[in-house]
Amino acid sequence: MGRRRSLNMTDLAREAGVSIATVSRALNGAPGVSEATRHRIRKLADDLSYAVSPHASRLARGSHGSVAVVIPGLTHWFYSTMVEGIVSVLHDAEVDVLLYLVKEEHQRHRFFEELPARRQVDAVVVVALPISDEEQRRLELMDVTVVMAGGTLGDHPHVRVDDVIAARQAVNHLVRARHERIGMINVRSPWELAYPAPRDRRLGFEGALRDAGLPVDPQLVVEVPWGAGGGAHAMNQILSLEQPPTAVFAFSDEIAAGTIRSLRRAGLRVPGNMSVIGVDDHPLADLMDLTTVHQPVGRQGTAAGQLVLDILEHRAVDTVHISLPTHLVIRSTTGPPDT
Amino acid sequence: MGRRRSLNMTDLAREAGVSIATVSRALNGAPGVSEATRHRIRKLADDLSYAVSPHASRLARGSHGSVAVVIPGLTHWFYSTMVEGIVSVLHDAEVDVLLYLVKEEHQRHRFFEELPARRQVDAVVVVALPISDEEQRRLELMDVTVVMAGGTLGDHPHVRVDDVIAARQAVNHLVRARHERIGMINVRSPWELAYPAPRDRRLGFEGALRDAGLPVDPQLVVEVPWGAGGGAHAMNQILSLEQPPTAVFAFSDEIAAGTIRSLRRAGLRVPGNMSVIGVDDHPLADLMDLTTVHQPVGRQGTAAGQLVLDILEHRAVDTVHISLPTHLVIRSTTGPPDT
């Protein structure tokens, strides 16, 4: 972080020909500044790569900065693996990480209400959390680098996988195994705001079916809460259909693992009676011999951490919108349907 | 944190009748202060519940403090669940959490070398990381509250489970199912320093066998690296013994899950040919119908977070050495041996 060069608020006030208080109000979105002045100061700040931060002078002096990592939960493998990747890279650059858990509504509220007022960080990394327009506006008022890991957030820098493609990889594998009646178990967002991943994976699912000339039957799409329990429940629902599918694309490996418990308890053979494919390549998938679509979660984390460092240190980057590839991992839960 | 009352270094210097520089050197273990003076100032600081912290005046003024959480990894369910518990409680008290990952040797080295010099935190929570005497000394030089979550650290406050008892609960269950030849799959520490859990669980294993009048055969104890792969490998080793056991106590549910993959691939029935029991009650255990000994990991985390708050805010606590109970969860991987 020692290589960072940035102006402080005093320099910016001098450049703009206004008081430091005016600069502060303009950058923080506080009242008492005309829109024209606010616009002029923000543009000047952008042009001069100014970042509002109490650490700015410390950074310029060569000591450590800190970055906030915002997560909706840690116990899920996806989040903990992502965070470990982000933290590893930032620590190796001697940047401290402040962890903000926004699992409950009050935590979410406090984070978005208070963090912009505190401004103790040089950047905020949001991990796969859907953000409302108002929340995005509050984040932007902080005038620090905002990076999304595992999703997108407006035009902000991000690292993610393409969930439409991931779903197509899964469904195409089932189509190649000659399945003609394919179901999907999707998840419902725990938030009012929708996650993009369930929407994108459903788009990919439907696109792959259409491309294969197969019908898209909404009856074969079941939505459940996150987690293995949801998967188990969804499979029971699917098995009670008059004409169940012969293969199921599960939103995640945890969902897939739940479906396999239900199939085992119903005395059905996998993949003979039902093929199952997930997404993630969760450690569980290897353990349960699950066919899945691998997404590089730790690498999304390290790439997001590196992106933050590159931006803070003004290094040239090819793109700030990074999409990492996914790939099919064939194990033993998929095969041709019994004839 | 606003309720915290603490002296600052100026007050302490006045009380001790020495300069602020002398107080600082005495508390930081820096040279230039006689042992007698150091001892006197430290004792005075203890008596007056002084905590060295750059945030001390902020805390007294009622704004937020911060706490460092030190973990050897995040991707493992045990650590991420523990950290989520700690962070939830601290966030609800408006305390910021700085996360320090000490997975690699250089990260560990930097943490213990640099954190004491920075002193940006009011407390350090160490999550189940074995600490050397020298590292413990460095932590103590920070003169902040140190709490161990998921283990013990000298006389410092801790929250943990009793691993000897957890192992006895597991092995007694196998003994009651009339197993007479019981193996154990234990883990090797990834560090030079040993974790206490593998040692304690082995003690519990051997104690339970002796109490049941069963022989303790070192041949039946296999040590492997952490993780499901290790469990799979260990079970293959056990199956190649001239006289394999009829039941196995696995260090963790992940190890147990690995053993079940090996048993399935070898075409053996669980529990008919081999009973398997783990420790943790990992989400995996429910999914795979694993019999296990439940340990409350999230609750260890919240209890550790609460302990930190109680100590920082000088609230009365019954004990600073908290041991939470474990209990047996019987699912479908244990039963009597085939006769």
Q: Provide the ipTM.
A: 0.77
Give the strand order in the sheet containing B221-224: B221-224, B182-187, B247-250, B275-280, B291-294, B327-329
Rounded to a whole number, what is the distance in Å from the CA of A213 to chain B's nearest CA?
A: 36
B261:A289 CB<8 A:
yes
Q: Is B105 in CB contact (< 8 Å) with chain A?
A: no
Closest-CA residue of chain A to B262: A287
pLDDT at A243: 95
Closest partner residue to A101 (CB to CB) among B74, B91, B288 is B91
List phi, psi (to 5°) of A120: -100, 5
Average model confidence (pLDDT) across chain B: 86
**Is residue A53 predicted with pLDDT exceeding 50?**
no
Lowest mean pLDDT among A3-12, A72-81, A222-231, B218-227: A3-12
Closest partner residue to B74 (CB to CB) among A83, A258, A287 is A83
Q: In the structure encoding, which two tokens stand for residue B85, read together?
A: 């518990």
A110:B99 CB<8 A:
no
**A246-263: per-residue pLDDT in tens?**
999 999 999 999 999 999
Q: What is the mean pLDDT of residues A255-281?
A: 95
pLDDT at A116: 56
- Max CA separation in chain A (angstroms): 80
Chain A residues near residue B261 by CB distance under 8 angstroms: 287-289
Average model confidence (pLDDT) across chain A: 86
**Is residue B137 predicted with pLDDT exceeding 60?**
yes
**Which uninterrupted H or E stretch holds A104?**
none
Provide the β-strand partners of residue A61.
Answer: none
**B76-111: per-residue pLDDT in tens?**
899 999 999 999 999 889 898 999 999 888 888 888
pLDDT at A20: 64
**Is residue B6 predicted with pLDDT exceeding 50?**
no
Residue A154, phi-psi category: left (phi > 0), alpha (psi -120 to 50), beta (remainder): left
**Is residue B179 predicted with pLDDT exceeding 80?**
yes
> What is the distance between the alpha carbons of residues A25 and A21, in angstroms, rounded to a whole number?
6
Q: What is the mean pLDDT of residues A233-254?
A: 96
**Is residue A60 predicted with pLDDT exceeding 60?**
no
Question: Does residue B194 or residue A60 have the better pLDDT?
Answer: B194
> What is the distance between the alpha carbons of residues B70 and B31, in angstroms, rounded to a whole number?
28
pLDDT at A46: 63
* Best to test chain B binding among A80, A100, A289 (most B CBs inside 10 Å): A80
Question: Does residue B185 or residue A93 have the better pLDDT?
Answer: B185
**A286-306: per-residue pLDDT in tens?**
988 999 999 999 999 999 999
Place A211 in a pLDDT band, splitting at 50, 70 and 90.
very high
Q: Is B18 in CB contact (< 8 Å) with chain A?
A: no
Q: What is the mean pLDDT of residues A209-217?
A: 97
Closest-CA residue of chain A to B89: A101
